[in-house]
Structure 1
Amino acid sequence: MARVSQEHLDARRRQILDGASLCFARNGFHATSMQDVLKEVDLSAGAVYRYFSGKEELIGAIVSEVLETVGDTYERAAQETPPPLPDVLIPRTLARLKEVKSGVLDSGEWVFPRLMIQVWAETLRNDELAVVMRTGFDKVCAAWAKVVESYKAAGLMPEDADADAMARTMIALAQGFAAQLAVFGAVPADVLQNGLRALMSMRTPDPAA
């Protein structure tokens, strides 16, 4: 019997993750059954369970993949000279996520924003998923902190700037914008970039003025 290539295994796993992401974004975790996932990916139960033991493991794999994508984007940015500023880096991160989670719902909505809201809600009741989320979030914060340190090295920020505080704030901006996309629909791509540039242009007022 011919051995199945690693490429085939990876492609099948990708097919299952993409199909499950569509199902979860469309109807939420609790309203989606494994039968729904099987129908979406057009595979037998045996083919799917070879990769994932059930819905919980699928959810964890999707969350881990998203967080790894975000962390990798920031790690790469920290190595650039000069490092990309937030008005470039955050839209870039959302664009990377759109590549990884490229599915589109029947309504035309991009999968990731709706999926993100589902994940955060599920984390409040699912202790195992909360651990996955916390671990991944800590890694993303650490990667963003490296970007902040590269800003300092390039003379773009004061040496005493709080790297962790900035990391959490920038992540919150990306999450908040994604939440707006999920709730209100498509927003022009340059809105986030223009808003960040406006914020970055602010200066502390001169008391003597």
Structure 2
Amino acid sequence: MARVSQEHLDSRRRQILEGAARCFARDGFHGTTMQDVLAETGLSAGAVYRYFPSKDAMILEIAHSVLDVVHSAFEEASHSPKPPPPDEILLEVVERLTAHFAHPPQMVLQVWAETFRNPELAALLDTFIDRVVTAWARIVGTYQARGEMAADLPPEHVARTLIACCQGFMVQRALGHGDIAWLRDGLRGLATFRREEEEGEGA
């Protein structure tokens, strides 16, 4: 019997996950059955169970794949001696997700809601948030050292605010209102805001 290539195995895995994600986004995790996933992907039970023994395994794999892409973008920026401005980093994350994943935007809300029931998923998300906060705080520290951001701001507070901004955009996108163009303009608008005392100093 001919051996199946790794490329074929990876392609089949993506096919299953993308089909499952469509089901989850449409009917929710608990409204979706394994039979629904089989019908959506057009695969046999044996083919699907070869990769994923349960719906929970699929959910964890989807979450892992998305979070890894997000974290890699932040990590790259955090190790740069001159990281891009915050708006460019956030846009890079959104664009990477859009380019690499066919999962419906509603999946984000489904995953967040599932953390209240699934301890393993909750732990995964907590670990991810901690890692991203660490990366963002490192970026903020570089901004401050370069004189590009006020030095009296706690880096972690800035980091968590930027993460909240990204999460808010994901919610808007899941509800059908997210557009990269307005995210780009909005972030740049906030970055160019000047307080009265700053204007006085420059006069």
**TM-score, reference length from structure 1:** 0.86
Instruction: Measure how far apart 1:81 and its partner are.
Output: 5.5
Q: Distance in 2 between matches of 1:143 and 1:10?
A: 29
**1:56-205 superposed matches below 5 A:** 56-80=56-80, 82-103=82-103, 111=104, 113-183=105-175, 185-205=176-196
Q: Is the 8 A contact 2:52 2:58 kept in 1?
A: yes
Instruction: Measure how far apart 1:6 and its partner are.
Output: 1.3
Kindly provide the CA deviation profile for residues 142-183 of structure 1, in whole angstroms up to 9, marking residues without a partner as x. 222232233234432244432222221111101101111222
Amino acid at match of 2:48: V
Count how many residue pairs are aligned between Structure 1 and Structure 2: 200
Instruction: Measure how far apart 1:89 and its partner are.
Output: 1.4
Q: Distance in 2 between matches of 1:150 and 1:204?
A: 22
Q: Is the 8 A contact 1:67 1:140 kept in 2?
A: no
Does the C-alpha gap of structure 1 residues 188 and 62 become closer, same or farther in structure 2, counting only changes over 3 Å? closer
Runs (4 or more) in structure 1 with deviation over 3 Å come to: 79-82, 152-155, 158-161
Alignment identity in percent? 49
Q: Distance in 1 between matches of 2:85 and 2:165?
A: 14
Greater relative CO (CA pairs within 8 A, separation 6+): 1
Does the C-alpha gap of structure 1 residues 56 and 187 become closer, same or farther in structure 2, counting only changes over 3 Å? closer
Amino acid at match of 1:198: G
Unaligned runs of 5+ in 2: none
Does the residue aligned with 1:96 lie in a helix, a strand or coil? helix
Q: Is the 8 A contact 1:70 1:97 kept in 2?
A: yes
Q: Distance in 2 between matches of 1:152 and 1:14?
A: 41
Unaligned runs of 5+ in 1: 104-110
Does the residue aligned with 1:58 lie in a helix, a strand or coil? helix
